[in-house]
């Protein structure tokens, strides 16, 4: 009887283990299906955003073009109110154009495979600063290059976009006038941290945790526009095997330090 009881107990344990394994297997299949569905939805949303952005390019170009013609040829005859309407229209069109270009950049960054190569980061920063010259002049900002930037493994065009986003944010949300400091710090793990520091009011701890989430808005007036640009930086850097980070003391004038890491070249790269 004892022997029979032992056999029955063993059979029970085997069956219980089989059912548990089957349950876990079904859970895995369900998760895989959900992941595939999520990936499909993400791909469809990317394609939709890409199509919408392309479709918006032409009408925005028309607004900018005709607005510019009005500004050049007829603005002298405008009264103060009409002049204000035209300025607001052109500013809104420029903002829409920036959003469209950001959406297209994000779609490309998500879709394209990036092969890391040795990149002259000083040259990348030179080109990025040329692209923000008008914003620097408009905001009376100063840019300080605190250190030379070591070479890294990356993609020059994408990293130029990353610096443009970081520096633009530093100017837009910096102090009055904005002062942006750029530098790099080699790390012991074979990576370099490239950082951009502003002199703005800074962000609280909760905001820094949420800031790199897609299209996040943390107080519309305070950090309007951060979300999309930082999503682009995160997408680019993570594709290159690096990480992104934001640090803030929360003290006015100390601002935020936005950074990203890239792998340093090794023998054979």
Residue 81: per-residue pLDDT: 82
Q: Report pLDDT for 56.
A: 75
Query: Do 135 and 187 fall within a single domain?
Result: yes
Domain shared by 30 and 76, yes or no: yes
**Per the domain annotation, does 188 fall within a domain?**
yes
**Pairing status of strand 179-186 against strand 142-145:** parallel
Residue 152 has pLDDT above 60, yes or no: yes
Domain that holds residue 251: 117-263
**Tally of structural domains, the chain:** 2
Question: End of a domain among 90, 111, 132?
Answer: 111
Identify whether residues 253 and 147 lie together within a single domain: yes
> What whole-number distance in Å separates Cα of residue 71 and Cα of residue 200?
34
**Is residue 268 one of the residues assigned to a domain?**
no
Between 26 and 185, residue with greater pLDDT: 185
156-179 average pLDDT score: 92
| 159 & 204 share domain | yes
Backbone angles phi, psi at 112, to 5 degrees: -80, 140
The answer to whether residue 186 is domain-embedded is yes
Quick one: average pLDDT of 30-47? Answer: 70
Worst-scoring range by mean pLDDT, 83-87, 169-173, 210-214, 231-235? 210-214
pLDDT, position 222: 43
* The domain boundary residue, chosen from 77, 111, 145: 111
Residue found under tokens 């299949």 = 29
Q: Say if residue 1 is in the same domain as residue 101.
A: yes
Note whether 137 and 104 are same-domain residues.
no
Confidence of residue 66 (pLDDT cuts 50, 70, 90): confident
Q: What is the pLDDT of residues 113-148, one digit of tens each?
A: 778 999 999 999 999 999 999 999 999 999 999 999
Examine residue 237 and state whether it is found in any structural domain, yes or no. Answer: yes
What value does the mean pLDDT of the chain take? 82
> What is the average per-residue pLDDT within 238-256?
84
Measure the N-to-C terminal CA separation of the chain; round to a whole number of Å. Answer: 71
Whether 172 and 100 share a structural domain: no
Q: What is the pLDDT of residue 38?
A: 67
CATH number for 135: 3.30.565.10
Q: Are 249 and 233 in contact (CB under 8 A)?
A: no
Q: Say whether both 128 and 104 belong to one domain.
A: no
Domain stops at, among 111, 137, 169? 111
Residue 124 inside a domain? The answer is yes
The CATH number covering residue 106 comes to 1.10.287
130 and 62 part of one domain? no
């Amino acid at each position: 009887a004892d022997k029979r009881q032992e056999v029955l107990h063993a059979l029970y344990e085997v069956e219980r283990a089989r059912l548990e394994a089957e349950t876990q297997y079904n859970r895995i299949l369900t998760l895989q299906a959900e992941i595939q569905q999520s990936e499909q939805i993400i791909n469809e949303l990317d394609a939709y955003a890409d199509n919408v952005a392309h479709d918006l390019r032409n009408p925005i170009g028309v607004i900018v073009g005709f607005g510019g013609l009005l500004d050049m040829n007829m603005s002298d005859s405008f009264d103060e109110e009409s002049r204000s309407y035209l300025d607001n229209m052109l500013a809104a069109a420029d903002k829409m154009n920036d959003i469209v270009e950001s959406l297209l950049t994000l779609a490309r960054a998500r879709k394209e495979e990036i092969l890391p190569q040795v990149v002259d980061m000083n040259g990348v920063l030179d080109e990025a600063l040329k692209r923000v010259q008008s914003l620097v002049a408009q905001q009376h900002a100063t840019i300080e290059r605190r250190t030379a930037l070591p070479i890294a493994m990356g993609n020059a065009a994408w990293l130029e976009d990353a610096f443009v986003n970081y520096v633009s944010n530093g100017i837009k949300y910096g102090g009055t006038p904005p002062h942006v400091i750029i530098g790099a710090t080699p790390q012991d793990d074979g990576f370099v941290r490239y950082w951009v520091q502003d002199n703005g009011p800074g962000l609280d701890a909760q905001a820094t945790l949420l800031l790199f989430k897609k299209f996040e808005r943390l107080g519309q007036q305070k950090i309007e526009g951060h979300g999309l640009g930082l999503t682009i930086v995160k997408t680019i850097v993570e594709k290159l095997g690096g990480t992104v980070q934001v640090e803030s003391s929360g003290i006015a004038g100390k601002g935020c330090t936005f950074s990203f890491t890239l792998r340093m070249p090794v023998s054979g790269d």
